[in-house]
Amino acid sequence: MTSYAKRTEDELLSPENTVLTVIDYQPTQINSVNSMNRSELIRNTEIVIELAKLYNIPIVLSTVNVEKGWNTDTIPVLKKAIGEDVPSYDRSSINAWEDKEYNEAIKATGRKKILIVALWTEACLTFPTLDALKEGYEVYPIVDAVGGTSPIAHETALRRVEQAGAQLTSIAQLACELQRDWNREETVPGFDELLTKLGAFSNLR
């Protein structure tokens, strides 16, 4: 049971090479999701955020049209999970990649692997994903924490970004990829708690 040393260059997702972006988890967008149960969507997104915090992955948060008064902020449960110390970049653009402050915030992390959750899948996830891929980033939509206006809109958007080179992932896969080795004991309790919350582990063990 001898593990190799932790990789310094890693093709897989690791806490050191990824950034998480959370885009438009606002009441208007959440209330118009029809591709999955909305309570499950919120719970799953909270788990994604908690995974990022557990593994010290930077988070870039964005909203649309809050300053214009046309929309309200990120829903409180997710805002609390992210933390008040994380700035929120409000935009007028549907495509976050076309917002200067947001774009600069992603690039300032120096990380080329972007984990993305955004509402809706067919717009606010698709557009920055396509742009980031074009600029040489690797983009990983977390499929069980995103949603669209209908099942077909959601699935078609995922097909479009996948064909363009995005690498779809799920919460359980992401968690295992970040943990990677049970010898990294400092994150094992948090990993166990979050996978139990997701339902991947039984709390009867």
* Active-site amino acid positions: 124
Element (H, E) at 194: helix 188-198
Q: Where are the beta strands (DSSP E) in the chain?
A: 18-23, 59-64, 88-91, 113-118, 138-141
20: tokens are: 């998480």
**Among 69, 132, 80, CA closest to 102:** 132
Edge-to-edge strands of the sheet including 138-141? Answer: 88-91, 59-64, 18-23, 113-118, 138-141
Task: Enter the tokens of residue 33.
Answer: 């999701």
